[in-house]
Amino acid sequence: MIIMPAIDLYNGQVVRLTRGDFSKMTAYSNDPCAIAQYFKDVGCTHLHVVDLEGAKSGEPKHLDTLSEITKLGFITEYGGGVRSREAIKDVMQAGAFRVMIGSLLFKTDGMSKELFEEFGNKLMPVLDTKGNRVVVSGWKKQTNLSPRAALVKLYKEGYKVFLVTAVDRDGDLQGPDLELYRNLVGDSTSIIAAGGISCIDDLISLKDVGVAGAVVGKAVYEGSVNIGEALKIARQ
């Protein structure tokens, strides 16, 4: 299992939301690159970067920061406000290894297939879930798809790696939605889990479920998960 520390960006700051609520935002640093360097120094190889400002506005707002972070040598996944082909290309040019997309996939019936044909698995579908439905547009709009139905549809089109976030648990440190991931993990897909991770035991539980990776955010910033210990658990 791969540990992916999260750097969520808003107005140039490293922040965290609680349950996707922009009115419940906590700022942790004014220096995203320093935070990234710390993660590099303790041994992280992957980084999960979310442009929350971009998610809210509908276009990426932190590509310069992304460019600086990727120079540190991370395998970086980046998302937030990536709602056009041009934005995908801009994020790739800024150095992202994989681009996270959500809203754009569900814009029209044929969009997700067209995007895969153009960009392949450089794209990672983001299945943000609330009340057993996928939500988009900065978690403000609900689709009529369950996480399972969305995954099956996208898998048939060629997608293999998925970020699945339990938005109802994101940032609340109440533990991941293990049942959600049990319902999605399969031999031919790679699931990256996010939302609710609060301690090392949560990471062990996710590893037992069979997810390919786990995004750790608030728990690291609040000190309930030691990132070095998390890396050891993931490698066992």
Residue 158: pLDDT over 80 = yes
Give the DSSP letter of residue 59: S
Q: What is the pTM of this model?
A: 0.92
Please state, as a whole number, how many other Cβ atoms lie within 10 Å of the Cβ of residue 200.
16
The average pLDDT across 185-189 equals: 86
**Contact present, 91 and 65 (Cβ < 8 Å):** no
The average pLDDT across 186-193 equals: 90
Give the active site residues.
8, 128
Taking the C-alpha atoms of residue 28 and residue 188, their distance in angstroms, rounded to an integer, is 37
The average pLDDT across 66-82 equals: 96
Confidence of residue 44 (pLDDT cuts 50, 70, 90): very high
Residue 170: pLDDT over 70 = no
The average pLDDT across 122-136 equals: 92
Q: pLDDT above 70 covers what percent of the chain?
A: 98
Domains in the chain, CATH or no CATH each: 2-235 (3.20.20.70)
Confidence of residue 172 (pLDDT cuts 50, 70, 90): low
Write down the pLDDT at residue 188.
84
Taking the C-alpha atoms of residue 150 and residue 164, their distance in angstroms, rounded to an integer, is 11
Write down the pLDDT at residue 173.
74
Single-letter residue type at 138 = G
